[in-house]
Amino acid sequence: MIHENVLLLSLVLMAGVLFAFVYVFIHSTKLEQDYASIAKNSYSKRDKLFGFIIIAGVLIAIGTTRGLPYGPHNANAKQIDVIGKQWYWEISDTTATVNQPIIFNVGSADVNHGLGIYDKDLRLLTQVQAMPDYTNKLAYTFKEAGEYKLMCMEYCGLVHHSMISTFTVNDEG
């Protein structure tokens, strides 16, 4: 929903900029006034337009990044450690509850892996890189009960295709 609103606002802003260019083009052929008054009038309009564009850009940036999981994580989130190894996932807990915030602490014991979490229809829900000597934090909250697949998304060797684990999400108790 927010993306449609951002697209609409962006189109309106682009139309405003186009209008400004067309306005300047049409009025640039009228040389009835001296340059100083034309410049003063144009700079005043330009400053207002740029001010509006800057404010709109800041509001769009704030509005579209609020839902991203890169900010402070929920202190009450369930912590689950996931270590990628050739060719399996070592997971500290393979169960969770619907609407329970989870922080997956993802790393690797050998080579780079890519942890992808898929729903029952094998649609990718979220992903993160698993790297040796580094822990990535992946915040996610499951909205539906069921079995999910944790699959490797980066070729990690001969048996990469078998690097699949199951994660179960139960209804709220």
CATH number at residue 89: 2.60.40.420
Please indicate, yes or no, whether residues 110 and 140 belong to a single structural domain of this protein.
yes
Please indicate, yes or no, whether residues 103 and 150 belong to a single structural domain of this protein.
yes
In this structure, is residue 147 part of a structural domain?
A: yes
Q: Is the pLDDT of residue 5 over 90?
A: no
Please indicate, yes or no, whether residues 82 and 157 belong to a single structural domain of this protein.
yes
Listed in sequence order, the residues at least 6 apart from 154 whose beta carbon sits closer than 8 Å to its beta carbon are: 112, 113, 114, 129
For residue 160, the 8-state DSSP code is: G
In this structure, is residue 57 part of a structural domain?
A: yes
The predicted pLDDT at position 88 comes to 95
Question: Are the CB atoms for 1 and 64 separated by under 8 Å?
Answer: no
Ranking 23-32, 90-99, 132-141, 161-170 by mean pLDDT, the lowest is 23-32
Please indicate, yes or no, whether residues 93 and 166 belong to a single structural domain of this protein.
yes
The predicted pLDDT at position 2 comes to 67
* Report field, pTM of the whole predicted structure over 0.85: no
In this structure, is residue 85 part of a structural domain?
A: yes
Give SS3 for 46. helix
Return left, alpha or beta for 32; rule: phi > 0 is left, psi -120 to 50 is alpha, else beta.
alpha
In this structure, is residue 70 part of a structural domain?
A: no
pLDDT tens per residue across span 43-57? 888 888 889 889 988
Number of structural domains found in the chain: 2
User: Percent of the chain beyond pLDDT 90?
Assistant: 57
pLDDT tens per residue across span 142-170? 999 999 999 999 999 999 999 999 999 99
The predicted pLDDT at position 36 comes to 74
Q: Is the pLDDT of residue 64 over 70?
A: yes
Q: Is the pLDDT of residue 1 over 70?
A: no
Please indicate, yes or no, whether residues 165 and 116 belong to a single structural domain of this protein.
yes
Position with higher pLDDT, 33 vs 101: 101
In this structure, is residue 73 part of a structural domain?
A: no
Please indicate, yes or no, whether residues 35 and 118 belong to a single structural domain of this protein.
no
In this structure, is residue 126 part of a structural domain?
A: yes
Closest to 39 (Cα-Cα) out of 19, 18, 47: 47
Could you list the residue range(s) of the whole structural domain that residue 32 is in?
A: 2-65
Mean pLDDT across the chain, nearest whole number?
A: 88
pLDDT tens per residue across span 121-146? 999 999 999 999 999 999 999 999 99
Position with higher pLDDT, 60 vs 92: 92
